[in-house]
Amino acid sequence: MTRLIGQRAIASLLSLMGLMILVFFLSRLTGDPAVLFLPIDATEQMKQQFRALHGLDAPLIEQFGRYVWDLVHLDFGESLRKARPAIDVVLEAYAWTLPLALITMGLVVVAAIVLGALAAFNIGGFFDRLVSVVSLIGASAPDFWIAIVAIVVFSLNLAWLPTSGVGTPMHWVLPVAVLFVRPFGLIVQVVRGSMLSALTAPYVKTARAKGVKNGPIIFIHTLRNAMLPVITVIGDQAAALLNGAVVVETIFGFPGIGKLMIDSILQRDFNVVLAAIMVTAIAIFLMNILIDIAYSLLDPRIRH
């Protein structure tokens, strides 16, 4: 297992380096921050002073070299917009996105595994058809449409929930509910399909012949062997939430990492964009390593 983790860590490090190079140079194509941050009547001298102050007057290669040197020393630079360390701005946004992602994925995983397993066990029945239809709709419906409909129904018409903000627990209900729908639909489909294959295995027939009850057959004997593809989808969906549910956070005014990325790109706050992407990439790479470890624990053959 140690060798497997080491290989994944090296591959992740190389990917991280490639991502850093790509994002650094592409972000510079969005325009000159001096034009955005200075008044419209600013003179060329004022613009030159602004660029020199923030190290934007040097050639791109030299800027990149300075950035890499600072990054080695864990210095992500300063936010142009907030005049604070970029990493502090990013971590503050993650303090909102992380609990949102954890709450959503916790609810999704429990609901999707239980309902998907029960649907597979009752294949062809009413419950199976109901779960299949609901999950297909959830997996297909776009997030922005669900968010808008939820605001119209629950905030404007019924006045049960606030439209945006994070002031009270009620402000979290709609963002969590909207983010819940798509991963729930995808994971339910994978759980159901994987469980259908596992339920036809000989060990299940043997367990039934021995008089084992349906509960242990579903959640003890079968579920573990059906979890490998499920873990992959759970990891992908969790990574998407960690990356920031950009549309949902923007619609609900949620101050998470997704909204921060959009705002920083529009305002050409290069250091915050780079810091947000680097931190997100590291979190995703660590999650992939945890998924590999989970694979090896569920299936010892993978360790070899």
Residue 138 has a pLDDT of 86
Task: Tell me which residue of 233, 228, 245 sits closest to 99, measured CA to CA.
Answer: 245
79-83, 204-208, 269-273: which has the minimum mean pLDDT? Answer: 204-208
User: pLDDT-derived band of residue 217, with 50, 70 and 90 as boundaries?
Assistant: low
What is the pLDDT of the chain when averaged over all its residues? 79
Domain annotation covers residue 189: yes
Domain annotation covers residue 10: no
Structural domain total, the chain: 1
Residue 107 has a pLDDT of 92
Q: Name residue 78's beta-bridge partners.
A: 85
User: pLDDT-derived band of residue 81, with 50, 70 and 90 as boundaries?
Assistant: confident
pLDDT of 86-96, one tens digit each?
A: 888 888 888 88
Domain span at 199: 86-303
The yes-or-no verdict on residue 171 having pLDDT over 80 is: yes
Domain annotation covers residue 153: yes
Domain annotation covers residue 232: yes
> Alpha carbon of 240 to those of 185, 213, 303: distances in Å?
15, 38, 27
Domain annotation covers residue 122: yes
The CATH number given to whatever domain includes residue 181 is 1.10.3720.10
Sign of the Cα torsion 142, 146, 147, 149 reads positive
What percent of the chain shows pLDDT beyond 90?
1
Residue 248 has a pLDDT of 83
